[in-house]
Amino acid sequence: MIEILSKYTPAETYFILKEADVGLKELMKYTLMDLLFKRVLEMNTEHKNESRGEKAKVYNYVRVGREFTHYKPLPHEMIYLSPYYKSKSIRILFQHLISMGIQNAGSEKKYIQNNFLKREEMKHFFVSSRFAIFFTRLNLSDRGRSEKESLLQTLGRVDVSLADSILNVTGKGRSDVSTIGGNIFLLEKARSKVLQKISYQLKEDLQRSVGSYDFMTWIAFESYEMLFNTIFDELNSSNTGSDSGCNSCSILYGVI
Amino acid sequence: MILSKHIESKRELWERINQFEFDDLDSEFTFSQRLARENNWTLEFTLRVLFEYKRFIYLICISDQPMTPSDSVDQAWHLHLLYTQSYWIGFCKETLGRDIHHGPTKGGKQEKEKHRDYYIRTKKKYQEVFSEPPPEDIWPSEEIRFSEIRFARINLHRNWVIPKLKRKRL
C-alpha cells in the first residue's frame, strides 16, 4: 500500500491532496527539495571575499548530484534541470536557480496546465469546464477523490510508524523512506526526524568524497525550506529600487 | 567536468575560474540580472552564457594563440569589463594571475577572415579541452557568427521590437 507514494513526487502528491488549489511557491519548493533529496541535484556552500579582508559572504551553489546521469526527469522538474542538461558542469547559485525556476514556470496556471495536468497518471483525477480552466479552478473526479483518500491514509500511517521507528533508520524504516522518497516533506510527525537523519548521512557521504568539507556552513535538509521561502518571497516582493546609473571609484583604489 | 588528459595539469586554474563569482549577493541588481536585461535573455540562458564565458577565458589562458568568442560570450565579456574592480582585480589579478585584454576588430575583409579563423580554432580547441562540443545556441556556426552582426541599443519605453518573419536559410 505504501507503494502508492512512490508513484508521485511530493509536488504531485501535494497537488492531489490540495485538489489543485495550490500556489506556485509550494509546487516549486517541493519539486526542488525532492531533486535535492534524490541527489539529482546537490547543494554546497562557499565562503567568499575572506582574502580581501571583507566580511565573508555565504554563497550556496547547486550542481548535478550523483544520481543525475541515470535520472529520468518529469516535466515539472525541468524548470530546474534544464540548464544542467545543456551544461552538465554548470553550478548555479541557489537564488538564481529559484529565480530561473519562476521564469521557466511562466505562471502558476501555465506550470500546472503544462506539467501536472498533462501527466498521464494525473489527467484523469481532475474535471473542469472551460470556464473553470480559465480561472485555474479544478475539481477532483471520482478517481481523483479515491486516490486522494488513499494518499491521505497512507501518509498518515507512514507518518506514525516512521515517527516511532526512525531513531534507528535501519531495516523497514530505511526501506519505507526509500519507497516514499521526497514525500517525506509532506509528513507532519516524522518529517523532522527523518530529515535530520538523512542530512547527517548526506554530510558524511560528502565528507568522504570531498575530504575537508566545511561543516560550519553545512545546510541541513530542514533548512532548505526556510532558505527557499526567504528567497522566493524576496524575489516576489515589489522592487522599487533603481537599476540604472554608475560612478567612478578611483579614490577607493587610491586608498587600497 | 571531463578535461582531456593533457589539460588535467591545469585543473587548478579551471577550478579557480569556475569558482569565480560575478554576482554580489548584497546587490539588488546583480551582474547576471543586468546581463540578462541588456540582452533580453532568460536567466537560464544568461547563466549558461556566463559559464561559457568562463570556459572561453580558460581557453585563452591555456593557449598561446588568440581566441575569438561567440557573440553571446562576447557580450558577457563586454559587461564584465565595465565592472572594473571585478574584472581587473577579482578576475584577472586574483583568479587568473594575469591580465587579459579585449581586442575589438579593426574592421575590413582581412580582419573578418582572421576572426573567422580564430573562431573556428576556438571551437575546435573547446571540443579538445572540454571533451564535448560547444553548445550550438551559444556558439553558433561561423556563418551565423559573422553574418548576424547588426545589433542596436533600443529604448524599450519608446519602441516596440517586432521579430522579422523567418527566412528560409539557404
- pLDDT, residue B49, reads 98
- pLDDT, residue A220, reads 64
Contact status, residue A245 vs residue B34, Cβ threshold 8 Å:
no
Nearest to A24 by CA among A235, A207, A188: A235
> If you average pLDDT over every residue of chain B, what do you get?
90
Q: Note whether A93 contacts B: Cβ–Cβ < 8 A.
A: yes
Of A162-171, B27-36, B144-153, the one with minimum mean pLDDT is A162-171
Q: Note whether A91 contacts B: Cβ–Cβ < 8 A.
A: yes
Q: What's the pLDDT band for A162 if we cut at 50, 70, 90? A: confident
Greatest Cα pair distance in chain A = 74
- pLDDT, residue A205, reads 66
CB contact under 8 A, A89 and B1: yes
Residue A9 has pLDDT above 90, yes or no: yes
pLDDT digits (tens, 9 = 90+) for A167-218: 555 556 666 777 788 888 888 877 777 777 776 666 666 666 655 444 434 4
Nearest to A67 by CA among A35, A43, A93: A35
Alpha carbons A193 and A209: distance in angstroms, whole number: 25
Alpha carbons A210 and A213: distance in angstroms, whole number: 6
Higher pLDDT, A137 or B54: B54
Supply A186's cell numbers: 509532506
Residue A35 has pLDDT above 80, yes or no: yes
Residue A96 has pLDDT above 80, yes or no: yes
CB contact under 8 A, B21 and A103: no
CB contact under 8 A, A104 and B42: yes
Alpha carbons A215 and A227: distance in angstroms, whole number: 18
- In A63-170, alpha helices (H): 78-86, 94-105, 108-111, 130-134, 142-165
Residue of B nearest to A87 (CA): B48
CB contact under 8 A, B44 and A83: yes
Contact status, residue A183 vs residue A8, Cβ threshold 8 Å:
yes
CB contact under 8 A, A87 and B135: yes
For helices A94-105 and A221-236, the axis angle rounded to 10 degrees is: 60
CB contact under 8 A, A249 and B48: no
Alpha carbons A225 and A206: distance in angstroms, whole number: 21
% residues pLDDT > 70 (chain B) = 92
Residue of A nearest to B33 (CA): A96
Alpha carbons A160 and B12: distance in angstroms, whole number: 50
Q: Note whether A95 contacts B: Cβ–Cβ < 8 A.
A: yes
| Nearest CB neighbour to B25, from listed A57, A243, A246 | A57
Residue of B nearest to A106 (CA): B42
Alpha carbons A218 and A215: distance in angstroms, whole number: 5
Residue B30 has pLDDT above 70, yes or no: yes
How many domains in chain A? 1
Size of the A and B interface in Cβ pairs below 8 Å? 56
pLDDT digits (tens, 9 = 90+) for B64-85: 999 999 999 999 999 999 999 9
pLDDT digits (tens, 9 = 90+) for B80-134: 999 999 999 999 999 999 999 998 888 888 888 899 999 999 999 999 999 999 9
CB contact under 8 A, A83 and B94: no
Of A12-21, A215-224, B26-35, the one with minimum mean pLDDT is A215-224
- pLDDT, residue A254, reads 34
Alpha carbons B119 and B69: distance in angstroms, whole number: 7
Contact status, residue A65 vs residue A42, Cβ threshold 8 Å:
yes
Residue A158 has pLDDT above 80, yes or no: yes
Contact status, residue B46 vs residue B137, Cβ threshold 8 Å:
no
Question: Domain limits at A239?
Answer: 2-252
Cα–Cα–Cα angle for A24, A27, A28, nearest 5°? 80
pLDDT digits (tens, 9 = 90+) for A47-89: 886 656 677 888 999 999 989 999 999 999 999 999 999 999 9
How far apart are the CA of B44 and the nearest CA of chain A, in angstroms?
A: 6
Domain boundaries, chain B: 8-145
Residue A159 has pLDDT above 50, yes or no: yes
What are φ and ψ of residue B17, in 5° steps? -65, -45
Cβ contacts of A160 within 8 Å, gap of 6 or more: A189, A190
CB contact under 8 A, A239 and B85: no
Higher pLDDT, B80 or A2: B80
Q: What's the pLDDT band for A252 if we cut at 50, 70, 90? A: very low
| Nearest CB neighbour to A92, from listed B19, B29, B47 | B47
CB contact under 8 A, B44 and A82: yes
> Which residues 53-82 on chain A approach chain B with CB closer than 8 angstroms?
57, 59, 82
> If you average pLDDT over every residue of chain A, what do you get?
80
Alpha carbons A19 and A2: distance in angstroms, whole number: 21
